[in-house]
Amino acid sequence: MSQKLGKMRKLPKTITEKELLQLVKATKPKKYKLAFMLGFYQCLRVSEVVKLLPEHVDKERGYLHLLQAKGAKDRDIPIAPPVLKGLKHLPISCSVRTLQRKVKELAKQVLGKDIHFHTLRHSGATFCLNILKMDIRHVQFMLGHSRITTTEIYTHVTPDSMSKRFEEAWGDYIA
């Protein structure tokens, strides 16, 4: 649990990359596969995924251009290699509600978990920090947050990542 302004809040659930790939493998329409991967690897909001158009993809520079995202902010973020091939299936051509329902339904069937589309965003931010070792400021920019404290909500320390960092830092001292 995290504490903010005296209230206790549950930390958001996350899934691993392996679980994402299970979800993607079990998904039939390619537009949904791409949507789930954009949510995870690009840390996009569901509203950003449904607004993404082919002309927002700059393959030459390797960037996605997100227009008027939350807070009426534009941002360019690098394209994650796992989503590159799937971008040919843009636009997603479905509603926010449809994507939310689809991820919830499939995650229950495939993973036995009750997750939301926003879980993919949280999970992607955690993946960027713990697995890709991205700096939190880069993750902040990728998520489109103006305050680092907002990004910190998306960062999850897992026992495995903590243990690995502990070993890296103290490896010479551990007998």
Q: Write down the domain spans for the chain.
A: 13-169
Residue 58, beta-bridge partner list: 63
Q: Distance (Å, rounded) from C-alpha 20 to C-alpha 26? A: 10
Residue 1 burial (CB < 10 Å; 0-12/13-18/19+)?
exposed
Helix (H) or strand (E) holding 140: helix 136-143
- Residues 104, 118, 138, 156: which is the catalytic one? 118
Residue 4 is a catalytic residue: no
Predicted confidence (pLDDT) per residue in 56-87, tens digit: 999 999 999 998 666 667 889 999 999 999 99
Q: How many helices (H) and strands (E) does the chain have?
A: 9, 5
**Residue with the two structure tokens 């026992």:** 159
- Residues 31, 33, 121, 122: which is the catalytic one? 121
Residue 150 is predicted with a pLDDT of 80
- Residues 31, 32, 33, 45: which is the catalytic one? 45
Are 121 and 93 spatial neighbours (Cβ–Cβ below 8 Å)?
no
Q: Distance (Å, rounded) from C-alpha 78 to C-alpha 144? A: 13
Residue 1 is predicted with a pLDDT of 45
Residue 116 is a catalytic residue: no
Other beta carbons within 10 Å of 79: 18
Residue 70 is a catalytic residue: yes
> Rounded to two decimals, what is the model's pTM?
0.82
User: Which of 72, 68, 67 has the alpha carbon at shortest distance from 56?
Assistant: 67
Residue 121 is a catalytic residue: yes
Other beta carbons within 10 Å of 34: 23
The arrangement of secondary structure in 13-169, i.e. its CATH architecture, is Orthogonal Bundle (1.10)
Please tell me which residue, 50 or 71, carries the higher pLDDT value: 50
